[in-house]
């Protein structure tokens, strides 16, 4: 990333915004240790959906600053795999094995579906981007 060092402030600013938004949602939707962590689940699913939207929206724009700021920064700070992992462990430790399994597997399945829904909505909102080679998504 040395050649893109000028993008670090965009990632950092986005990360601060995403992390603060996530912390606020944790305050608004609290949960007891070992219970289903609705705030993390909601944040991760919303983040996956927005990721799909952005992947579609960014197909026709200059992505040099937008991707590091919005996807790596904001969504990276907003969503969290580490919290999902820790909360799954907490559910297991509390004796909620079925819930832990449902949470871990459900998060992955619903997250992938949310990305797909975001892309589908993005194609409706930005139909001009629909015909672009899907390999460009990796560059978004």
Work out the pLDDT band at 58, boundaries 50, 70, 90: confident
Note the pLDDT of residue 105: 97
Note the pLDDT of residue 63: 75
Note the pLDDT of residue 4: 83
- Indicate the pTM of the whole model: 0.83
Average pLDDT over residues 17-21: 97
Note the pLDDT of residue 140: 46
Domain residue ranges in the chain:
7-139
Residues 59-116: pLDDT tens digits? 877 778 888 999 999 999 999 999 999 999 999 999 999 999 999 999 999 999 999 9
Note the pLDDT of residue 127: 82
Report d(CA 113, CA 10) in Å as an integer. 28
Report d(CA 140, CA 136) in Å as an integer. 7
Report residue 86 as tokens: 């820790």
């Amino acid at each position: 990333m040395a050649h893109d060092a000028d993008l670090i402030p965009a990632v950092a600013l986005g990360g601060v915004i995403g992390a603060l938004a996530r912390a606020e949602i944790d305050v608004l939707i609290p949960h007891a240790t070992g219970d289903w962590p609705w705030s993390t689940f909601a944040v991760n699913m919303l983040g996956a959906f927005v990721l799909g939207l952005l992947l579609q929206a960014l197909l026709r724009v200059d992505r040099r600053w937008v991707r590091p700021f919005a996807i790596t920064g904001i969504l990276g700070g907003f969503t969290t795999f580490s919290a999902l992992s820790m909360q799954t462990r907490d559910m297991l430790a509390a004796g909620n094995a079925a819930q832990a399994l449902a949470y871990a597997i459900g998060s992955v399945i619903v997250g992938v579906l949310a990305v797909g829904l975001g892309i589908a909505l993005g194609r409706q909102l930005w139909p001009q981007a629909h015909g672009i080679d899907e390999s460009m998504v990796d560059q978004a």
